[in-house]
């Protein structure tokens, strides 16, 4: 393909709105353009990348006997009403009416529709298991689209759905997907982790996310440095580092106007780990006093799994419930429900005295109050692994894929039933599995770039090789470049399972421009044809990632280039 026949609008200066590296580079290198907030146009280069990712997805889905289909994006409301998600999901769903006034929505995911299909068509255990998937557009009215194509309102997703006769079958389908996902992301050249995650509103018992570590990521994952414990911070458990406890006797301490743990700890010159942080929570059933160690923060998701929906009490709520100003409340003498973090079970602490301007020293949780013990804190750097007690670290990551065990959450309401061997009607056991294509591409850019631009992995690069004829007025240069382009394009590339995709930069521009643009758009191998080296009967081959340059004699050019291509990382 010739550069002059492709639309590659590279920029010298990046539009001011771009912040994330992948956003900046994809704009600058002419891969994407923004239409509106969270809506992006994929230009020829990025579309080629997405197609290569699709090809990998198709191959790996095929390998686990998944069947590609495609479903409408426009859905009738009734199906979503049956499962209740029409009501549970709020502004995030795009809704509209058709000309007859019928309620419709745009698909943000396809559990309902896939299950509907299964319910209509599958009757017998003999027809199961099935895995159906599609690569198709999803629409979500995101509260805050951000970071270029990392979080958009419209995005292309590979979503698959498994239907099994029992839990064992689901386990099998789930593991098949986990393995396929490993292969897919490995082939795409990504660094990634598979982490335990929160099933959220998808429901179901078990879920994992595939996370590509990157500072641009929105998620945080907790990783054990020793064992294989890895989890999303949304559900991660951790052990707070233990401390030596002083042998304080129970004693009131005057702490005038010192309310927060930070203020009191500075005032008394005592480390926050020796404090009990008391938070009053309000649920539909009444008040709950949550207790954390002074160095911890409340994990609201963990808490709401224990007590359901709640909000943190305001100052006047605290005053009316405790008769003490906020900042001085504590568990001592408290008659209501107390939920305390497990790390408080041992030791002696300072807590609010339930008396204005006083705290109380020497509180021993096992003696002085009764609580339910739970892990309700947010894991943080330096905490210990819940499995092996070694150090945990926290990393930011991009969620590039997820897998959910759904069970019967959708099959029961939508009547996706089958007859088992004994003729008994049973609900199908389902799983659902997603991969965001643009996120894979963006994560690849986030993880593979340098100051000059993008560095694509061979498997998903828009082209395999770019030829840079430096002097477009030199006959020998042009002839050689053209011949190379044509010959290389005839050669089979086993990495992409098709012929080499070769980009020939045939623009009449100065060499510097070609070098800059080639580095920017990031094709793995550059072939530089300049008069200077032609005089010595050589050309240069440059690896984009390492910037190594190989000087190749004109004889057997194609074979040498192909060899370097295969040896390129």
Q: Which is nearer to RNA, 201 or 367 (CB)?
A: 201
User: Site mask, RNA, residues 215-254, x = CB under 7 A?
Assistant: ---x------------------------------------
Minimum Å gap between C-beta 305 and RNA is: 13
Minimum Å gap between C-beta 201 and RNA is: 4
Residues of span 291-320 touching RNA by CB under 7 A: 300
Minimum Å gap between C-beta 487 and RNA is: 20
Can residue 537 be called a binding residue for RNA (CB under 7 A)? no
Residues of span 182-221 touching RNA by CB under 7 A: 200-202, 218
Binder of RNA out of 55, 268, 534, 563 (CB under 7 A)? 534
- Helix intervals (H) in 409-510: 437-447, 475-488
**C-alpha closest to that of 31 among 41, 21, 20:** 41
Helix (H) or strand (E) holding 112: helix 111-121
Binding residues for RNA, how many (CB under 7 A)?
Answer: 58
Residues of span 407-426 touching RNA by CB under 7 A: none
Minimum Å gap between C-beta 318 and RNA is: 21
Q: Which is nearer to RNA, 332 or 511 (CB)?
A: 511
- Helix intervals (H) in 259-399: 261-268, 300-307, 315-322, 365-368
Q: Which is nearer to RNA, 89 or 282 (CB)?
A: 89
Can residue 533 be called a binding residue for RNA (CB under 7 A)? yes
User: Site mask, RNA, residues 350-389, x = CB under 7 A?
Assistant: ----------------------------------------
28-36, 128-136, 165-173, 335-343 -> range binding RNA (CB under 7 A): 28-36
Minimum Å gap between C-beta 144 and RNA is: 3
129-137, 139-147, 355-363, 459-467 -> range binding RNA (CB under 7 A): 139-147
Binder of RNA out of 16, 99, 256, 367 (CB under 7 A)? 16
Minimum Å gap between C-beta 534 and RNA is: 7
Helices 44-63 and 437-447 cross at an angle (nearest 10°) of: 110
Contact partners, residue 1, CB within 8 Å, separation at least 6: 463, 501, 502, 503, 504
For CA atoms 554, 556, 558, 562, give the dihedral sign.
negative
Binder of RNA out of 259, 374, 516, 545 (CB under 7 A)? 516
Can residue 26 be called a binding residue for RNA (CB under 7 A)? no
Minimum Å gap between C-beta 95 and RNA is: 11
Can residue 510 be called a binding residue for RNA (CB under 7 A)? yes
224-232, 274-282, 483-491, 527-535 -> range binding RNA (CB under 7 A): 527-535
Q: Which is nearer to RNA, 8 or 417 (CB)?
A: 8
C-alpha span between 444 and 454 (Å, rounded): 9
Residues 268 and 253 sit within 8 Å (Cβ to Cβ): yes
Binder of RNA out of 108, 165, 340, 502 (CB under 7 A)? 108
- Is residue 509 packed enough to be buried (19+ CB in 10 Å), middle (13-18) or exposed (0-12)? middle
Can residue 130 be called a binding residue for RNA (CB under 7 A)? no
Q: Which is nearer to RNA, 14 or 268 (CB)?
A: 14
Binder of RNA out of 1, 77, 82, 89 (CB under 7 A)? 89
- Helix intervals (H) in 222-374: 261-268, 300-307, 315-322, 365-368
Strands 538-543 and 525-529: antiparallel
Contact partners, residue 331, CB within 8 Å, separation at least 6: 276, 278, 289, 291, 338, 340, 351, 363, 365, 368, 369, 371
Contact partners, residue 484, CB within 8 Å, separation at least 6: 467, 502, 527, 529, 557, 558, 561
C-alpha span between 535 and 155 (Å, rounded): 50
DSSP 166-227: SHHHHHHHHHHHHHHHHHHHHHTT---EEEE---GGG-SSEEEEEEEE-TT-SEEEEEESSS
Q: Which is nearer to RNA, 187 or 505 (CB)?
A: 505
Binder of RNA out of 1, 2, 6, 10 (CB under 7 A)? 10
Residues 178 and 69 sit within 8 Å (Cβ to Cβ): no
For CA atoms 444, 446, 447, 451, give the dihedral sign.
positive
C-alpha span between 317 and 335 (Å, rounded): 17
Q: What angle do CA 486, 489, 492 make, to 5 degrees?
A: 145
Residues of span 144-163 touching RNA by CB under 7 A: 144-147, 151
Q: Which is nearer to RNA, 147 or 343 (CB)?
A: 147
Can residue 142 be called a binding residue for RNA (CB under 7 A)? yes
User: Site mask, RNA, residues 432-471, x = CB under 7 A?
Assistant: --------------------x-----------------xx
Whether the ω angle into residue 129 lies within 30 degrees of 0, i.e. cis, is yes
Can residue 512 be called a binding residue for RNA (CB under 7 A)? yes
The residues that touch RNA, with contacts defined as CB under 7 A, are 10-17, 19-20, 23, 28, 34, 36-38, 85, 89-90, 92-93, 108-109, 140, 142-147, 151, 200-202, 218, 300, 452, 470-471, 473, 510-513, 515-517, 519-520, 528-534, 540, 542
């Amino acid at each position: 393909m010739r550069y002059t026949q492709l639309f590659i609008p590279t920029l010298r200066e990046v539009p001011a709105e771009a912040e994330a590296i992948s956003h900046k580079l994809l704009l600058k290198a002419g891969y994407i353009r923004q239409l509106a907030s969270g809506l992006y146009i994929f230009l020829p280069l990025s579309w080629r990348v997405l197609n290569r990712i699709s090809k990998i997805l198709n191959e790996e889905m095929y390998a686990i006997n998944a069947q590609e289909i495609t479903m409408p994006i426009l859905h009738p409301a009734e199906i979503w009403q049956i499962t209740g998600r029409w009501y549970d999901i709020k502004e995030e769903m795009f809704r509209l009416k058709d000309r007859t006034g019928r309620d419709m929505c745009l698909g943000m995911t396809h559990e309902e529709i896939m299950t509907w299909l299964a319910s209509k068509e599958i009757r017998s255990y003999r027809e199961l298991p099935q895995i159906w998937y599609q690569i198709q557009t999803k629409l979500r009215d995101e509260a805050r689209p951000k970071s270029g194509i990392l979080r958009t309102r419209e995005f292309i997703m590979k979503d698959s759905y498994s239907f099994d006769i029992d839990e064992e079958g689901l386990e099998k389908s789930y593991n098949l997907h986990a393995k396929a996902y490993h292969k897919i992301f490995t082939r795409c050249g990504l660094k990634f982790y598979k982490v335990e995650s929160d099933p959220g509103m998808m429901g179901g018992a078990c879920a994992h996310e595939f996370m590509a570590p990157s500072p641009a990521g929105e998620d945080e994952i907790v990783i054990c440095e020793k064992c294989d414990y890895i989890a999303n911070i949304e559900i991660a458990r951790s052990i707070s580092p233990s401390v030596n406890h002083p042998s304080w006797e129970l004693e009131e301490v005057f702490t005038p106007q010192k309310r927060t743990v930070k203020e009191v700890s500075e005032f008394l010159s005592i480390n926050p780990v020796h404090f009990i942080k008391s938070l009053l929570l309000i649920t539909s059933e009444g008040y709950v006093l949550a207790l954390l160690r002074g160095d911890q923060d409340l994990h609201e998701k963990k808490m709401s799994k224990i007590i359901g929906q709640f909000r943190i009490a305001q100052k006047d709520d605290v005053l009316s419930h405790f008769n003490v100003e906020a900042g001085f409340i504590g568990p001592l003498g408290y008659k209501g429900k107390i939920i305390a973090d497990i790390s408080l079970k041992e030791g002696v602490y300072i807590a609010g005295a339930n008396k204005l301007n006083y705290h109380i020293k020497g509180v021993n949780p096992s003696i002085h109050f009764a609580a339910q013990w739970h892990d309700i804190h947010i894991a943080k750097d330096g905490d210990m692994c819940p499995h092996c007690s070694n150090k945990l670290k926290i990393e930011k990551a991009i969620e590039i894929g997820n897998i959910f065990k759904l069970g019967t959450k959708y099959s029961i309401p939508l009547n996706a039933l089958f007859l088992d061997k004994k003729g008994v009607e049973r609900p199908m056991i389902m799983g659902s599995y997603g991969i965001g294509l643009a996120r894979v591409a963006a994560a690849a850019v986030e993880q593979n770039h340098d100051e000059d631009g993008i560095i694509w992995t061979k498997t998903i690069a828009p082209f395999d090789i770019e030829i840079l004829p430096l002097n477009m007025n030199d006959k020998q240069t042009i002839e050689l470049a053209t011949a190379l382009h044509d010959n290389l394009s005839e050669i089979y590339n086993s990495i992409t399972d098709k012929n080499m995709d070769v980009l020939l930069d045939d623009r009449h521009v100065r060499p510097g421009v070609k070098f800059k643009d080639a580095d920017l758009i990031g094709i793995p191998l550059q072939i530089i044809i300049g008069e200077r080296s032609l005089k010595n009967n050589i050309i240069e081959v440059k690896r984009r990632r390492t910037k190594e340059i190989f000087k190749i004699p004109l004889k057997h050019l194609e074979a040498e280039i192909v060899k370097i291509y295969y040896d390129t990382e």
